[in-house]
Amino acid sequence: QKEVEQNSGPLSVPEGAIASLNCTYSDRGSQSFFWYRQYSGKSPELIMFIYSNGDKEDGRFTAQLNKASQYVSLLIRDSQPSDSATYLCAVNRDDYKLSFGAGTTVTVRA
């Protein structure tokens, strides 16, 4: 079983819609959860992190964590063409080892 699993996509949404991305993890001891965005040919960059159950909002982005279900999600509201990228879920198990999922490619249609 992979440590971090994501819907492979691709996910296509119209401009202005909500994009919903999902991620599950296998290790119940995981403590921190991250969403990175990666544009084609570029390095990943952090969007946000979460480590408490519930929702965390930052602008148009909302991360949701449910440790009981070992599930973390990312919502992108009012999607823009500039949001078209691959989104990577990452899990930090022991404050040091950072493991990533395969990523979900999002395309926002103008």
Partner 1 sequence: NAGVTQTPKFQVLKTGQSMTLQCAQDMNHNSMYWYRQDPGMGLRLIYYSASEGTTDKGEVPNGYNVSRLNKREFSLRLESAAPSQTSVYFCASSTGGRGTEAFFGQGTRLTVV
Residues lying near partner 1 in the complex (CB under 8 A) are found at: 3-4, 6, 8, 31-32, 34, 43-46, 49, 51, 88, 90, 92, 95-103
Report how far apart, in Å, the C-alpha atoms of 108 and of each of 15, 35, 77, 105 are: 6, 18, 12, 10
Q: What number of CA atoms fall less than 13 Å from residue 18's CA on the CB side?
A: 9
Q: Which is nearer to partner 1, 71 or 100 (CB)?
A: 100
Strand 104-109 relative to strand 11-14: parallel, antiparallel, unpaired? parallel
CB of 16 to partner 1, least distance (A): 28
CB of 49 to partner 1, least distance (A): 5
Tokens encoding 107: 């395309």
Q: Which is nearer to partner 1, 14 or 39 (CB)?
A: 39
CB of 31 to partner 1, least distance (A): 6
- Residue 68 Ramachandran class (φ > 0 left, ψ -120 to 50 alpha, else beta): alpha
Q: Which is nearer to partner 1, 5 or 70 (CB)?
A: 5
